[in-house]
Structure formats: C-alpha cells, structure tokens
Structure 1
C-alpha cells in the first residue's frame, strides 16, 4: 500500500513565505503539524493512498460510509470473506451502495481501494500553508518570572487559531459529519 504524502502542501512554497530554504527543520516541523491538524479535522488523509484496505461493519442500510474519500478506484469488496460484485460508489462522498439493497447487519465488510486527491486541492494546500506560517511564527512566550519573593505571570500563546479559509477548507473536505451532535 502506498501511504499518503507526508505533507498537504509544498515545503518550497512555505519557504517562500518565510524566507527560508524548503529543508529548514522548523519549517518542516510546522508544515508537518499543520498537515496533521488538517487531516485530524477532516478525518481522512486527503492526499492519494493506493491499494488501501478498510474494514467496516455492515449496517443493515443501503449506504455504507467509508472513512476515506474521494474513492478513486474500487478494487474489491468482501462481505464476511465472500467477494461482492456490483457495488457502486458515491465517489466524492466516500459512500458505497449495496447492489442488493442493504449491507447485512453484523457482517464484516473488507474494502480494497485507492482514495484521496492527487494533486491535493489548492484550497487545502493554501489553508495548510497559512496554518504552518502561524505555527512557525508562534512564540512560546515567557509565562512566569520570579525574582526573590515576587512573581509575575503572563498569558502564554498556547495555540494557533483558525482562519475562515481554514474553516471553509475543512468543511469542504470533512467526512462523517453525523457525529457532530
């Protein structure tokens, strides 16, 4: 199986914004952190993964939601070890439709497929670069100074906020929204 790309944006592009070489260790760490945050927010790798295997439980319903999208190619679907043919996919949504109507409840469904984007959509790359720039520039800040018997505490910058660009990209690519209640 080919794993997802390490980054959701080009390190060289981030380097241009920061005035640093693309192989700068802090730059790469910031880009890696922003990539992890985006993937966590959307709940899937986003970039192309080939020959992946996904294990699911049958639902008793016509649709089976995959934890990945978009579906690039469906290689095989097995229900309790038996090959199932005629399965259709809502490719962009990452949903499989059972050819006979419903996925058997309490069954084990094994799906082999290619999924994700190649190249990564521009809005995702831009949001990740924007977030990586903020992470790179984050100062840990002095939290407390003690001199003798006196102590002064300062607010620490502990997290990087999100932009409307980030939120829009996450909403456009997030899967399985049904558990947001």
Structure 2
C-alpha cells in the first residue's frame, strides 16, 4: 500500500504557522499527494511484491506500470513461470524484455509479474512540489471568489482552481512514466 502523504505534515505546518495535526492542513496535503500521483500515473512510494497482470503485445518489450523498478521476482506467461536472465530481463525504468529472440504473446491478460517498485524515501523535488501545492490548496476558500476587507465585501462564485508552479511541472515531468497511451 502506498504511503498516503508525499511530504511531511510538520514541514507544511511550519510554512502555514499551524499545528501539523490541523485537519485542513492534512486534507490539503492528501489532496496534493493524490494530485501528484495522478499526474505521474504511479504510486511513487515503495510497494513490495506487487502482482500485476499485463496484456501481451507481440513484441520483445513490455512496460511495467510503475517505476522505479527495484526487483522482479516472478514472471509467468499463460501460467508458465519464466526464468530471469534466461527468459527475461528488466530495467529500473520499467522495461520487461523477453530474451532469446522471443516475444511476449499478443494475448490479453497473458503476462503476470510480481515486482517491487517505487521510492523508499520520497525524492526531495516531489516533496517540494507537493508542499507548494498543499499550501495553495490550504489557502483556497471554497466558494469565495472575491474578498474585500474594507467595507467587508465577499463575493461567492465558482470553485477556485489551483494552478501549478514551475517546480510542480518539472517534478511531474521528471517522475512521470513515459507511456504512449496518453490522449
């Protein structure tokens, strides 16, 4: 199971001047963490012995759906266990390659892989981007579009949108999986 938060609540609390157990702070940090995971399309944090089933594609390489890959402990094709180094090889970037001039079958749900992936410690650039996003989310007042202090004018409008920083964009690009399946 992925760790829920991609940054330390204590660090966010320092920025916001509130207690780390503040429910709004924790909600903002959870939302920013979910948003980052959605943008990079993988859990980010360490998951050991994850068992997945993939569609074969008729080629020599498959892409695993999460990275970095730390270990591949088992690969089966249509129920037959393959041998590492003889039948397949893998890379930290998530490539699973058939060896010996063989290809993966072009059959749906034919390849089962058991592997460990993710970061044991969340990289600092991800933590920084998530903290920035959480600060922005924390500051949003849902439903309030405009607020004037002198003569107290408050305008309610559509839900405020949270944009992204250059730091967020760079971290997402660096950790996003390269898949050809984006719309």
Fold match by TM threshold 0.5? yes
Structure 2, unaligned runs of 5 or more: 147-154
Q: What CA distance in whole angstroms lies between the structure 1 residues aligned with 2:114 and 2:124? A: 27
* Cα pair 2:89 2:97 within 8 Å, conserved: yes
Determine if the alignment matches structure 1 residue 105 to structure 2 residue 106.
yes
Task: Provide the residue aligned with 1:12 in structure 2.
Answer: 10
TM-score, normalised via structure 1 length = 0.88
* Cα pair 2:145 2:160 within 8 Å, conserved: no
Deviation at 1:180, TM superposition (A): 3.4
Residue 77 of structure 1: SS of its match in structure 2? strand
Q: What CA distance in whole angstroms lies between the structure 1 residues aligned with 2:89 and 2:13? A: 42
Q: What CA distance in whole angstroms lies between the structure 2 residues aligned with 1:42 and 1:142? A: 30
Cα RMSD between the aligned structures?
1.9
Q: What CA distance in whole angstroms lies between the structure 2 residues aligned with 1:83 and 1:141? A: 55
TM-score, normalised via structure 2 length = 0.87
Task: Provide the residue aligned with 2:134 in structure 1.
Answer: 132
1:158 to 143, 153, 160: 160
* Cα pair 2:58 2:104 within 8 Å, conserved: yes
Q: What CA distance in whole angstroms lies between the structure 2 residues aligned with 1:177 and 1:137? A: 34
Task: Provide the residue aligned with 2:182 in structure 1.
Answer: 180
Task: Provide the residue aligned with 1:148 in structure 2.
Answer: none
Structure 1, unaligned runs of 5 or more: 145-152
Deviation at 1:155, TM superposition (A): 5.0
Q: What CA distance in whole angstroms lies between the structure 2 residues aligned with 1:142 and 1:129? A: 23
Determine if the alignment matches structure 1 residue 55 to structure 2 residue 56.
no
Deviation at 1:65, TM superposition (A): 0.6
* Cα pair 2:144 2:160 within 8 Å, conserved: no
| Runs of 4+ residues over 6 Å off in structure 1 | none
Task: Provide the residue aligned with 2:43 in structure 1.
Answer: 45
